[in-house]
Amino acid sequence: MTENVWTIDELVALTDKVQNGETEYNGKSFPFQYCELTEAEEPKLKLPSAGATEEETNEAYKEIGQGRILAMILKANGKNPDGASITEENWSLIPSTVRWGVSNFILGSADDANFRELDETSA
């Protein structure tokens, strides 16, 4: 069995590469693009205070996550304006189910499902 290993050059190249994704909603697909961020490109958002309620903490982390996803999308849009489907102006107007699908794809949830499929069929 051959083990796949990332090289530093491959990882660095990901921060310049526009990647494409797709999510399904109500029987139709929705394509989008995104680009990996470097640490310097990560959005600077406040962490919840130590005395925050659970609801305030959850809301703060939701904003951090959504800010990161939007930054990844906007970076790709800057590199490939013709491929933009999501913009800063329309992100908050997209149905939340679609936004969750986009977010899950970008954060790797879709990849985890694909790995499970491969494991089950290769056994």
- Domain positions in the chain are 8-122
State the Cα–Cα distance between residues 47 and 63, nearest whole angstrom. 10
| Whether residue 114 has pLDDT greater than 70 | no
State the Cα–Cα distance between residues 45 and 63, nearest whole angstrom. 8
Q: Which residues fall within 8 angstroms of residue 29, CB to CB, at 6 or more apart? A: 22, 23
Instruction: Report pTM.
Output: 0.79
| Predicted confidence (pLDDT) per residue in 51-109, tens digit | 889 998 888 888 888 999 999 999 999 999 999 999 999 999 999 999 999 999 998 85
Structure-block tokens of residue 16:
């310049």
| Predicted confidence (pLDDT) per residue in 26-55, tens digit | 999 999 999 999 999 998 878 888 888 999
Q: How far is CA 90 from the centre of its chain?
A: 16
End-to-end CA distance of the chain: 14
